[in-house]
Amino acid sequence: MGMNGGSGGGGGGMGSACYVYPGAPATPGFVTPDVLFQRGIYMNGSMTFDDGNSVTIWGFTDLAAGGGGGMTGGSFPSPAMRVTEGQIVHTALTVNMMWMHTVHHHGIEPSQENDGVGHFSWDVTNGTYTYQWRPSHAGTYFYHCHTNTPLHAEMGMYGGLIVDPVPNPNDPPGTKRAFANGPIYDVEAIWAADEIDPAWHTLQWSAGTCGGDVGLNNLNPRYFIITGVDGASSALTNPGVAVTMQKGQRLLVRYICAGFHPQKIDFGGLTATVVASDGRPLPQAWQTTSIEAHSAERYDCIFQPTTTGTWTVTVTYYHWRSGAVLGTARTRINVV
């Protein structure tokens, strides 16, 4: 094990890789799963911002839905995974010989082989590795690549991961709960708040792994996004981000701090009832109008507005050292 995996590619340019651990072995204890996700990767996606500029994006594809593998584009964030507590899940990741990637299901706590951390198992290349896991706690998670993680996560290699509780047989069919015996919700939003430094988006997949200063200690974001949509203005109205709900309905916002700098999400005057964090119910719900969070934290927030109206939600991003405001991203909750 050790140095020198494949050659580079993706994001422009060749390059050698060091301290990568290529592999795609058989899954220990492989069984027939209840759910299968087939993930490929894409290395030539893009995101265009409200100012007209764009950057290269990498991510995962859904091979079952005909997603390509390699020099293609794909959705950003990567396709979400949704499973039910107690199911045996397979995430089959296929990567060709040009690159190495993994899937780490963040907050899911499987065996070492299935945790998707390169140097504790393997970086998948030239084949398929099937991650086998069985979620024991309903809640909000996300999955991301754990190879050259600062770069690959910044490049966009993440997607939502929701674990639903087993339906309560006493509930009417279709009832949605945040967790077993947890609050019922009618409308759901997944807000993954992230920041983009365009300077990082020109690097190749193994940048910096053999040494040399490629700037991975210094993230200077210029764009601030919510679930793949520019928070400058698009996210205010984008139907995949902004919420429109009926008065009297209950909204569950799954807030994911998907960037690397600390954030604060302010709900614009609405009060959130925070019922869970990091895939675990809170012992008592927490009422708050804003949440300070750092990279990879998740908070599940229930809203039940009692009047119609529009509330503007603002995520503020702070520099990890200086605390200076780096920028903001905004979306809306419209109650009609």
Partner 1 sequence: MERRAFLKAGGASLASALMGSGMLTWSARSEAATISQTLYITDGTKTMPDGVSVYVKGYGTTANTPLIPAPSIICQEGDTLSITVYNMLSVTHNLVIGGLVSGSAPIASTGDIAPGGNKTLTYTIPSGAAGSYLFYDNKTSYNRFLGLHGGLAIMPAGISNQLYSGSPTFVKQQFWILNDIDPALNTAVKNGTTIPTNFTPRYFTINGLSSRPPGAAGHGDPTIDALYDPRSRLSGHVGDRTLVRMLNTGMCSHAVHTHANHMEWLTDRGTIRPAVWKKDTLYLRNNLGKIDAIFPFEAPPDAYPPVTSGHFPMHLHDEMSQTAGGGLYQFGSMTELEFL
Give the binding site for partner 1 (CB under 8 A): 1-3, 18-19, 21, 29, 31, 88, 105-112, 114-115, 117, 119-120, 132-137, 148-151, 153-154, 207-219, 257, 260-262, 277-280, 282-284, 292-297, 320-323
Per partner kind, with CB cut-offs from 5 to 8 A, the member of Cu ion, partner 1, none near residue 186 is none
Partner from Cu ion, partner 1, none contacting 320, C-beta within 5 to 8 A by type? partner 1
Rounded to 5 degrees, φ, ψ at 217 are: -90, 0
SS3 readout for the chain? CECCCCCCCCCCCCCCCCCECEECCCCCCCCCCCEEEEEEEEEEEEEECCCCCEEEEEEEEEHHHCCCCECCCCCCCEEEEEEECCCCEEEEEEECCCCCECCEEECCCCCHHHCCCHHHCCEECCEEEEEEECCCCCEEEEEECCCCHHHHHHCCCEEEEEEECCCCCCCCCCCEECCCCCCEECEEEEEEEEEECHHHHHCCCCCCCCCCCCCCCCCCCCEEEECCEECCCHHHHCCCCCEEECCCCCEEEEEEECCCCCEEEECCCCCEEEEEECCEEEEEEEEECEEEECCCCEEEEEECCCCCEEEEEEEEEECCCCCCEEEEEEEEEEEC
Q: Count of residues binding Cu ion (CB under 5 A)?
A: 7
Residue 27 binds which one of partner 1, Cu ion, none, with CB within 5 to 8 A depending on kind? Answer: none
In angstroms, what is the minimal distance from the CB of 270 to partner 1? 22
Min. distance of Cβ 226 from partner 1 in angstroms? Answer: 19
Nearer to partner 1, 154 or 305 (CB): 154
Nearest partner of 142 among 256, 36, 41, 30, judged by Cα:
256
Residue 311 tokens read as 């509330």
The distance of closest approach from Cβ of residue 336 to partner 1 in the complex, given in angstroms and rounded to an integer, is 34
Task: List, in order, residues 6 or more apart from 322 with CB less than 8 Å away.
Answer: none
Part in contact with Cu ion (CB under 5 A); list of ranges 19-27, 122-130, 166-174, 293-301? 293-301
Could you give the string, one character per residue 142-171, with x where binding to Cu ion holds by CB under 5 A and - elsewhere?
A: ---x-x----x----x--------------
- For Cu ion, the nearest residue by Cβ is 145
Among 39, 90, 105, 106, the residue binding Cu ion under the rule CB under 5 A is 106
- Distance, CA of 205 to CA of 98 (rounded, Å): 10
- Which one, of 310, 273, 312, lies nearest residue 291 by Cα? 273
Interaction partner, residue 201 (partner 1, Cu ion, none; CB < 5-8 Å by kind): none
52 binds, among partner 1, Cu ion, none (CB under 5 to 8 A by kind): none
The smaller minimum CB distance to partner 1, of residues 87 and 249, is found at 87
Find which of partner 1, Cu ion, none residue 306 binds, CB within 5 to 8 Å per kind. Answer: none
Tell me the window of 13-21, 74-82, 103-111, 131-139 that interacts with Cu ion (CB under 5 A): 103-111
101 binds, among partner 1, Cu ion, none (CB under 5 to 8 A by kind): Cu ion
**Among partner 1, Cu ion, none, residue 237 binds (CB under 5-8 Å by kind):** none
Question: What is the nearest approach in angstroms of partner 1 to the Cβ of residue 102?
Answer: 12
**Footprint of Cu ion on residues 118-147 (CB under 5 A)?**
145, 147
Which residues contribute to the site for Cu ion (CB under 5 A)? 101, 106, 145, 147, 152, 157, 296
